[in-house]
Structure 1
């Protein structure tokens, strides 16, 4: 079986590459079912009592969650004509958003007064433009009704609170974006804070996308630099990158396919899944580098490309397979995790790892066979600095195995002692760095 696989790359490299690409694009086409989920409740097990209760509440009463928008100027009273005019305009803009069911603010509230034994109901803010007398009457009314005041005014009287009730099923990410846009238009002169579960989950999806892209970009920059330092060949680095990107494409596509075919929420891409691309990137890179580095070494020794590829794959086929198999099984164990999305996490990464092994065993050696290598290039005539460093470490291990073993055990023991300093954090504020808008709004 191993010889048959190797011969596919040696005798039919073009066909092997074409089939690999076709299968990869079939698997990756599942991206159309790929979904980034911003609902934090999807992270909780469905059989969890608190989630069952929450689902029943939503089923009975609809959407009960609110978005809170506080704005003002620290130390300045909100009873200013310009401030309340901005509130009036902002409230009207929010009420015009289709995904908003209700807006609660001073501009949308009524006041109830007793007049000659009759109950009169009027708007709290009678007009967009208010005079000094009206401002004083509003202040007096709210001071006499602290329960109403506490809903729409901060405890220091310098911030106004606007409460937005989204319609049931409103896409939180789209709604959050619209609220931010309206705040930029009408509240640009004020300090603004957003809060509430719908807003938080709405902006998290964008954060997930940004974090994933940032991690992948940073990882790719570091990886490309190290690959160039080690392989010293742009085509070789390109071959490794092709394995990485195609594996990522297959992994995310498979996640989409499984979700599309089963409808399972276990295969949603959530905040818990942001580390998936960087993990697979590392594993796929390892497979590709092993093959290219071994090929260069064998090519230096034999001077024959076909023989070098054959010896490389004969030596690495089984080790890479076993490494990929054990790693994939380790991630598959996440199907037993109580957090349901970890099932999709483990299965999808296992598929990505398997695909990286397939590409490294079939497509990569085929690409090597199709490339015309210059035997006199530096990459093939001399070892790289990283290869020489690895050889030095190997010599140290051979010369002083006992010292190396004891040093390793010492590091492990010291590391185990750190278990006692582990801290389990459940405060969602800690998910975000200090100084970010979300962290500041949550603390506010």
Structure 2
């Protein structure tokens, strides 16, 4: 029985290979029927879930119920397992069928078969819309003329209205060489497209050198924390240093998170010493991640965030804010302070399980509250839609949060954090255990 376990920090985030506790042996032989997968998944949650009370769900009874039924197909067993996992009322602990699990692996590896778009969900006045957040350069989507800001109307013949990000992404991906039918709306025009899928390697970091108000500023946009993020971030900082950057803006807006290990390694590029994040697990056990003296990014730093900056993004922003290494500009972040482990099951399905709660260096619990920026900048829906997706196209005139960050950076000296009216830094304290 082949199993892997991976650690996450985010809605779709946090991949670090770690050991997997061996599940208890089932009382009956279940290997050759769907019950084997049900019991395997049950054991993983039973051993690892952050709340030993399982949110007041009788988890032993769940096992008895699952194994007492007969299943005519894996799909029927999957549906039963998903329903029982949902009783935990934890949106981040979830069952993934083989296709969903492979999509998750592809996303965190930074390589997948698709058309080369990244989606985001925009909500205003209870209306939810799927929007093209980014288009991979030279991808099939780029060649078909899809642009950031386009609204997804339909995908593979299905209306996009009411779709989740996960459902839409699953429909967009497919075998290399297959054709995807899409409709996107741009202004008042609906554009029908047929795009041939290809193998995509995600460019997760984009950057540009900007000359603003007498300062040379390196602008870096990080879209997620996948397996390529650390390497690409290092290359971006080093390139900007060679070009003479005096200060930096790190744009984490719309970044839903990613690999826990990537968030730690990227923070270490900016922070030379001190705590980065601590996690508290099921039995109150604490794991602390620290800077290790390898920081090489010098100069003042401003971090841009919004409500879609989540989890691993919040680890980076929270650590650098607590240590006064950076000023955080924008709007409050999402408030996801949980860590998941992701397990591959024997049949290729998967399971994401919340295993810990995390805290910033000062002991802040950001769950459901998020990180409050040092400087709040409100951005309207129209402004959000008009924002440049490429750092090279970003300007003070069209991006108010970037403009405020530049203003703060121009008032600082090399090697210091921008001065702000207030600071959220506190003396580190022992966090209270709260699975949340």
Q: TM-score range by the shorter chain?
A: under 0.3
Name the structure with the higher helix share.
1
TM-score, structure 2 normalization: 0.23
TM-score, structure 1 normalization: 0.22
Which one has more relative contact order, counting CA pairs under 8 Å at least 6 apart? 1
